Amino acid sequence: MGWIKRNLIFVIGCVVAVALLGAAGFYTYQGWSRNTEAFSKLNEIYNTLSSLKSQQPSPGNEVHNNTAIARDQQKQVQEWIGSARAYFQSIPAIPAGTVTSEAFASSLRRTVDQLQHAAEESGVTLPPKYDFSFSAERPLVRFAAGSLEPLATQLGEVKLMSDILFAARVNALDSIQRIRVSDDDANGPAGDYTDLHAVTNELAVVTPYVVTFRCFTPELARVLAAFATAPNTFLIKAINVQPASSVVATDGAGGADAAAPQAYMGDREAMLLARMRGRGMPVLPPAQQMQPVSKGGLQTVLKEQLLRVTMEVGLVKLLPKS
């Protein structure tokens, strides 16, 4: 103790030095630990970079920055999607907006009348008192719960497809068949509906329709072109083209086959024959229709004839963005 008292300053200095050495050692240990951890992370990042660089495709290098190229391509895809939306325009429902029973009943009768007059002006033959697949709904003033919006949507779509057929001036529209969306459809004729079903994925819903009409090849070409160039995406999923079985008989003035339309042809052909007679068009007897007349010269290879076309049309409608 006497020595410590005589060398108190020295002892204090030694204690302070030891404390500083301990602090320095602790600080050095912490720095070494941080350096080790940082070195481990650096090795992990380096290994990840090496792995990415060896992949196909790789992120690139100073010359080819594949990451930037991928961003540019993603931007191009987004721009293409934006431009493609112009071909997926929705068809306005009839009536638009909030639909009530009174509004739909009035719009349905008015739209059917408009389509019937449009068919007459375009020279398109319709079945008698044709309601364009809405025979079950036209006499109603109250409709099944939850069916007004789907029915209004279908009415707008049927009107657009009918306008396309009328603009192409087909000879006759036999039927437009749609899927059942209302309990009221159970009371309609089977010919108004198709057994196909709508298909839905994460992007869109495809609603099927079956359209049957009669025309010649130029009108068929116009129908296909109109569906292809419409701002709404129509998919022609199937098409069946057959010769229309139309056996033309003589008119009443010929005195031979006044009942021939019922004996040799269906109701549609009889209606077409009546239209021809009403317009003063010449109608040949069956014998003259079926017996080829040889005029010499080149042989006839292709002869235009009336066609019966059954077309399955899918209407693509984009789902709302989530």
Which residues make up the CATH 3.30.70.60 domain(s) of the chain?
A: 87-244+307-318
Residue from 247, 244, 227, 245 nearest 235 by CA: 227
Count the alpha carbons within 13 Å of 72 in the hemisphere toward its beta carbon. Answer: 5
Q: What is the Cα–Cα distance from 183 to 195, expressed in whole angstroms? A: 15
Count the alpha carbons within 13 Å of 127 in the hemisphere toward its beta carbon. Answer: 15
Residue 61 confidence (pLDDT): 63
| SS3 readout for 76-106 | HHHHHHHHHHHHCCCCCCCCCCCCCHHHHHH
C-alpha angle 37-54-75 in degrees, rounded to nearest 5? 100
Each residue's pLDDT tens digit, 120-175: 999 999 999 999 999 999 999 899 888 999 999 999 999 999 999 999 999 999 99
Q: Is 306 exposed, middle or buried (0-12, 13-18, 19+ CB in 10 A)?
A: middle
Q: 173 has which bridge partners?
A: 213
pLDDT greater at residue 230 or residue 57:
230
Report field, pTM of the whole predicted structure over 0.85: no
Count the alpha carbons within 13 Å of 168 in the hemisphere toward its beta carbon. Answer: 25
Q: Tell me the average pLDDT across 15-25.
A: 80
DSSP letter assigned to residue 141: S
pLDDT greater at residue 62 or residue 172:
172
Architecture in CATH for domain 87-244+307-318: 2-Layer Sandwich (3.30)
Mean pLDDT across the chain: 80
Q: 308 φ, ψ to 5°?
A: -110, 115
Residue 221 confidence (pLDDT): 93
- Pair of tokens at residue 43: 């090795």
DSSP letter assigned to residue 321: P
Q: Tell me the average pLDDT across 72-92.
A: 81
b/e map of 210-247 (b: 16 or more CB within 10 Å)?
Answer: bbbbbbeeebbebbbebbeebebbbeeeeeeeeebebb
Residue 305 confidence (pLDDT): 86
Q: What is the Cα–Cα distance from 118 to 87, expressed in whole angstroms? A: 26
